Structure 1
Amino acid sequence: MRELILRFRYTAIRPSLFLGLMALVLVGLVVPATSRAAEPADSAEHSVARLWNEALLEAIRNDFARPTVHARNLYHLSVAMWDAWAAYDPRAQGVITNASMNPGRNEAAREETISYAAFRLLTWRFAQSPGAADSLQSFVDLMVELGYDPDFTSTEGDSPAALGNRIAEVLIELGLTDGANELDGYGNRYYQPANRPLLPVLPGNPNINDPNRWQPLALDFFIDQAGRPLPTGEPEFLSPEWGAVTPFSLTPADLTIYERGGHEWWVYHDPGPPPYLGGEGDADYKAGFTQVALWSGLLDPTDGEMIDISPASRGNNTLGTNDGSGWERNPVTGQPYAPQWVPAGDYYRVLAEFWADGPDSETPPGHWFTIANFVSDHPGLERRVEGRGRPLGALEWDVLTYLALGGAMHDVAVASWGVKGWYDYIRPISAIRFMCDNGQSLDPQGPSYHPDGIPLQPGSIEVISAESAAPGGRHAHLAGDSGQHIGKIALRAWRGPDYIQDPETDTAGVGWIRCENWWPYQRPSFVTPPFAGYVSGHSTYSRAAAHVLTRLTGSPYFPGGLGEFHAPRNEFLVFENGPSVDVTLQWASYYDAADECSLSRIYGGIHPTADDIPGRLMGAAIGEQAVALALRHFNGRATLRGNGRTGSPGANRRVHR
């Protein structure tokens, strides 16, 4: 049965034929359920749209960690459910279909249309997933639980089920022509890396050709952020050509089309180039990647540093900065926030792990759907669009929220991965090791000087000298048996996976290491996401999502002025033991959560500030575009969208490299 599904996926059949064949396939899927899909939502308490959103989030957790692909899946499911809902509303307009059903029909008809549209689309999309056995079964289970026949595939007539099947058919058809290369497994068509792979288990970075371009990693085996092993230990760049995928709200005026190597590179909301070593922004390059190395040295919960991580001391930043010093009082209740003092190293580690979205993750765009669902469940939320007007029912609120958030997350994937593909920027592990291989760049008269070296920081980044490597010296363990490492760079940082034998009991800690052996705060089977760093997807996704939630709810604040996530002592961290105390992440506003997510990537060794801030600015613009367009659909003032592939007229065109 699985082979049959895979053959359908790779054969260029029309979705209408797929729907006809699916009835035969589904007969073999109706077996006792083993899936966890939809468990977080109770069908007696949540809308049908929420149930299908939860089913998709669980399917994402069982798939490869592909944030671009799953941002698109979240968006397309949101469109399917929105168009199904809008068909029964006399004012609202669909995104890709404009069916008009009798608005007097009861809510059950609308729920049935939504379910058939969601079921057909998700069954198509996850037929080749590594978790297909569980995911496809979970979709069948949900249909049966809701009282629908999963074997009904007809698109003829005006029944709610047939309309749902037609909506799914249109989306599947569009998905084959939207630039995502779905039928070829979303594979790359022309991108080639500029650098040979880095082998992190070996010291240094001797194979790099261009220290300003992305470098693949070669591992014995690679386990992605969803906990899925890939067939090769050298994963290719994920979605470098994604800028050409059909967006939701991005416009030709936002687009610049570059040319390189005879191919087009589509970039929306172009932030301009990142800082380059040996070129424009040399000092910023060194400072940014040095900051990542230095912050790695803050991940020790035993160093005695205690900080207040409550909103009383953190958050309230100006957009594009980290200038906030917290909130004097809860902006919703007017009461002061209770302080929460914890070891700084525990907070930074929890931060890095929570926002890393792995393992078993719904990926960053899905993470913000879980936050949106938390907000929707809160008894303090009033479901009024932009905080005013009539209260919305659960289903109406959910489909509108999902359309706005799904459109924003998809457009972030299109825009930020377009930037990633064009600028093709280096990651910290490659840059830090490269600079340290060269030496130090602070003192031209000092030992081991090189203009492309890392700047020295006394007590944190130093040259291993005969004196510091003498018995009892701080670098004695780094010099080598015959002093062969004297003159290399020592770094006080998180010591890495070699110091962890049992993640449930061991902590690597912080200490002096040779900088050529630096690791980000990640699993040794993952190390760094397999795509370029600039711009940060986490920063862009998070700021866009925060803006969507702010606009829709009419308030920048979590209900009650407090959002929380609890990380229990010695139970939360994945690749080392910890935290050493209970840690509860807290945010007053959606923007505070987004900014904390951005900073977490520096602590995790994944991004420098140069990746972060432009992503926040892009996210703010994209979030506003997406929510504004979603509200136009809600108010009946939008136009029907096609596949969007005519979006290049009006774009800026530039030829580079």
Structure 2
Amino acid sequence: MNYKVLFFLTFLCVSNFTFSQNHSVARKWNEVLLQSIRNDLARPTVHARNLFHISAAMYDAWAVFEDKSDTFFLNKENHGVYIPYSNTTFPGDIIKNQEEAISYAAYRLLIHRYEISPGYKKSRVIIDSLFEKLGYDKNFLSLDYKKGNPAALGNYIAKKIIDFSWEDGSNEKYFYTNLFYEPINKALILKNPGIKELDDPNRWQPLAFEKFIDQSGNELAGSVPEFLGPEWGQVLPFSLDKKKIKILKRDGYEYPIYFDPGAPPEFLNSNKELNVEYFWNHSFVSIWGSHLDPNDGVLWDISPNSIGNQNINYSSLKIETLNKKYNRDNGGDNSSGYKLNPITKLPYKKQIVPRGDYTRVIAEFWADGPDSETPPGHWFTILNYVSYHDLFKRKFEGKGNLINQLEWDIKAYFLLGGAMHDAAIAAWGLKGYYDYIRPISALRYMAKNGQSSDNNFNSYSPLGIKLIDGYIEIVKKGDPLSGKNGENIGKIKFYSWRGHKYINNPKNDYAGVGWILAENWFPYQRPTFVTPNFSGYVSGHSTFSRAAAEVLTLLTGSDFFPGGLGEFVAKKNQFLVFEKGPSQDIKIQWATYRDASNQCSLSRIWGGIHPPVDDLPGRIIGEKIGINAYNFGRKYFSLKN
């Protein structure tokens, strides 16, 4: 998400990072953390951990001074590690002491965690700037809080969390590098059409770039980015029950799994033919690519009047029935929308816009790049938007008396941070073990094999892709794609987004939709990024988003955004990054937090990143994680004796 255009962060200036006086000190440090994430590599696992640890540090620095709330790290044993704390009297104003302890803890952790970031110089400027504006001394390094100094308490909390996290399974000591994972497939060379080598069409394939720029806009050395976080399931969690871990083995190594939805569909069925479940999941992605043209004449009402309020019975969900939850030809899901805004008691105002603008905008909005705070950070921006909305009342779980800004932010960050951390551990544990293929590799591989629908053509193969009229067809004689000398006759073609070769100038050109050779199919992503450098199953976006939606629902005591409506405006011909658009202002809206989560999940199919089988299992797991993390964390708010 580009923070310079995002309305959530209205207090940010384009040229200078400034802070609103209306925000709590916790909110100010959270914004510095989010900006530090944007300046770093796109590492959602690492940033989820940082969001949690820094939020937990601020929480403990606040809770020490509270009569009812208990600490999480201090005077507690977490995963066999005890962090001592002696009850201490801190003279002076409680709120000022809390703010000072919070600031020192956040300051020390931020510097420690982001000092190896490629954008550290920029981050250090804003970290120091806030610390100095608050009137604190960065040269004060004492850990002796027993003298009643809140600054020393903050330093102590940060030091103990740093010590704890050296041994938490993240391999932070060695810059989070993989200890044993090796990809089984050789890299797909993107400058070439098609796919040359794929040893196992069920497993993830690295991508070889001439130049790779990650989701945060960082150009990385080397042309083949390695898998990010395949061993992250080993990281110590917030609320996940380690007694319920399932240890799965592959290639001689163990992978801890917390929620196992079972294996995704493999390439071959029991008859050694193309598995129809594998085919339809990945073909959905190329077909939904045909929805990315704003001039195809298809208009949608994208307001909550028509989109949202999806009801899925997760208990009866099976891989074989996933296709019934999506609309293949027209796009989207089977949600019914809302007759009335339950807050205003009035109908939602319709918004009739080109479908191709809506799909492109949400693909970019939820893609989290460039200048990205990555998916877990994205939901912190949404939380901040809600917490400081004019219509929002800070009542914990929507009940009781109003609480002050600092207490609300501290508790909210602690709960959401814990959920995001657990979501990363659970999702990446599955990504590492199942190591599942991405659509760009699966689609090109099936098409390379030919087609398995009509044995009257020379391109027939039982391992080839299935044909679908209007979407997946054979190039025949006389076809504009047949080639100068007919060299493409018999190849597979897709009706989908046409790709970057149709875009010379992103300010003036858009690719549109049409017939392309399958060997040239490309996700709706930047050409220097293409697909995240980790496997697809399960979707991290779906897991993070549903977990966050559950936390916000429980925390606020309402399914709905303040006033029954959350929204973001993508300005005409300004918002899209790698092609022109949208063709008009597009206002994306959500009635509920779950509606926003569902939109995020669908956007990844339109973006060419995930098939449905990556999506819904991620939502199911995310829902469990969000509810579990919330209930686990809220107990600390009333445990102190």
Question: Which of 305, 309, 331 is the matching residue for 1:316?
Answer: 309
> What does 1:367-386 align with in structure 2 at a 5 Å threshold?
367-386=378-397
Map of 2:249 onto structure 1: 259
Is 1:364 matched up with 2:375?
yes
Q: 1:548 aligns with which of 528, 548, 551?
A: 551
Whole-angstrom distance in 1 between the partners of 2:67 and 2:22? 27
Conservation of the 8 A alpha-carbon contact between 2:302 and 2:589: yes
Which residue of 1 is the match for residue 6 of structure 2?
none
Answer yes or no: is 1:325 the counterpart of 2:331.
no
Number of the residue aligned with 1:172: 162
Equivalent residue of 1:234, what SS?
Answer: coil
1:95 to 55, 72, 75: 72
Which of 226, 234, 249 is the equivalent residue of 2:216?
Answer: 226
Give the Å deviation of 1:390: 2.3
- Return the alpha-carbon distance in structure 1 between the equivalents of residues 117 and 418 of structure 2: 23
Change (3 A) 1:443 1:635: farther
Q: What does 1:258-657 align with in structure 2 at a 5 Å threshold?
A: 258-279=248-269, 282-319=275-312, 321=325, 322-466=333-477, 470=478, 475-476=479-480, 478-636=481-639
Match of 1:213 among 200, 203, 206: 203
Contact 1:36 1:58 in 2 (8 A): no
Amino acid at match of 1:69: V
1-structure distance, mates of 2:35, 2:268: 45
Report the TM-score when normalising by structure 1. Answer: 0.89
Distance change in 2, residues 1:592/1:62 (3 Å)? same
Instruction: State the AA in 2 paired with 1:268.
Output: Y
Single out whichever of 517-526 and 137-146 deviates more from structure 2: 137-146
Shift of 1:261: 2.9
Q: Which region of structure 1 is more displaced relative to structure 2, 198-207 or 289-298? A: 198-207
SS of structure 2 residue aligned to 1:356 = coil
Distance in 1 (CA, whole Å) between partners of 2:388 and 2:464 is 51
**Partner AA of 1:201 in structure 2:** K
* Contact 1:38-1:51 within 8 A present in 2 as well: no
Residue 279 of structure 1, CA deviation: 3.3
Is the 2:67–2:640 Cα contact (8 Å) retained in structure 1?
A: no
Cα shift readout 1:432-484 (whole Å, capped 9, x = no counterpart): 00011111222344442222222211122110112xxx1xxxx32x1112111
Contact 2:215 2:371 in 1 (8 A): yes
Number of aligned positions between the proteins: 595
Question: What percent identity do the matched residue pairs reach?
Answer: 53
Listed one character per residue, the Cα deviations across residues 214-246 of structure 1 (whole Å, up to 9, x for unaligned) are 000001010001000000111000000000001
User: Take 1:384 and 1:282, find their aligned partners in 2: how far apart are those partners?
Assistant: 51
Give 1:190's match in structure 2, choosing from 175, 180, 201. Answer: 180
Q: Is the 8 A contact 1:35 1:137 kept in 2?
A: no
Hey, what's the Cα distance between the residues in 1 that align with 2:351 and 2:224? 42
Given that 1:191 and 1:240 are in contact with CA atoms closer than 8 Å, whether structure 2 keeps it comes out as yes
Cα offsets for 1:554-607 (capped at 9, x unmatched): 001000000001000000000000000110100000000000000000000000
- 2:4 is aligned to none
Structure-2 residue corresponding to 1:18: none
Equivalent residues of 2:65, 2:94 under 8 A apart: no
CA displacement, residues 508-554 of structure 1 (integer Å, 9 cap, x when unaligned) = 11111100110000111100000000000000000000000000000
Matched, 1:144 2:132: yes
Quote the residue 1:125 is aligned against.
Answer: 113
Q: Which amino acid aligns with 2:125?
A: Q
Shift in Å, 1:63: 0.6
Structure 2: distance between partners of 1:501 and 1:377: 41
The answer (yes or no) to whether the contact 2:89–2:148 under 8 Å persists in 1 is no
Partner secondary structure for residue 373 of structure 1: helix
**Worse overlay, 448-457 or 531-540:** 448-457
Quick one: distance in 2 between partners of 1:202 and 1:562?
46
Cα offsets for 1:39-96 (capped at 9, x unmatched):
3x41x10000000000000011011111000001100110000000110011211111
Paired residue secondary structure (2:219): coil
Query: Which range moved further: 347-356 or 251-260?
Result: 251-260
Change in CA separation of 1:101 and 1:504 when aligned onto 2, cut-off 3 Å: farther
1:64 matched to 2:46? The reply is no
Within 2, Cα distance between the matches of 1:531 and 1:170?
31
Shift of 1:101: 4.5
Shift, 1:35, TM fit: 11
CA shift at 1:138, angstroms? 1.5
The range that moved more, 446-455 or 171-180, is: 446-455
How far, CA to CA, are the matches of 2:446 and 2:291 in structure 1? Answer: 21
Q: In the aligned structure 2, how far is the partner of 1:340 from the partner of 1:164?
A: 49
Amino acid of the residue matched to residue 295 of structure 1? W
Match of 1:250 in 2: 240
How far is 1:137 from its partner? 2.2
Q: Secondary structure at the match of 1:288?
A: helix
Q: Is the 8 A contact 2:187 2:208 kept in 1?
A: yes
Q: Point out the more displaced range, 383-392 or 366-375.
A: 383-392
Amino acid of the residue matched to residue 538 of structure 2? V
Equivalents in 2 of 1:118, 1:236: separation in Å? 31
Runs of 4+ that moved beyond 6 A: 34-37
Gaps of 5+ in 1: 1-33, 639-657
Aligned counterparts of 2:517 and 2:304: Cα–Cα separation in 1: 37
| Structure 2 length-normalised TM | 0.91
Distance 2:545 2:69 in 1: 28
TM-aligned CA distance change 1:484 to 1:228, over 3 Å = same
CA distance in 2, matches of 1:267, 1:279: 25
Deviates more, 1:102-111 or 1:219-228: 102-111
Are the equivalent residues in 2 in contact too, given 1:68–1:414 (CA < 8 A)?
Answer: yes
CA deviation after TM superposition for structure 1 residue 260, in Å: 2.4
Provide the rounded CA distance (Å) in 2 between the counterparts of 1:224 and 1:446: 42
SS at match of 1:513: strand
Residue 238 (1) aligns with residue 235 (2): no
Q: Tell me the CA shift for residue 298 of structure 1.
A: 1.1
CA displacement, residues 494-517 of structure 1 (integer Å, 9 cap, x when unaligned):
111111111111111111110011
- The CA RMSD measured in Å over matched residues stands at 1.6
1:136 to partner: Cα distance: 1.5
Cα displacement string for residues 153-184 of structure 1 (whole angstroms, at most 9, x for unaligned residues): 11013310000000000110011100111111
Shift of 1:305: 0.7
Q: Which runs of 5+ in 2 are unaligned?
A: 1-12, 76-84, 315-324, 326-332
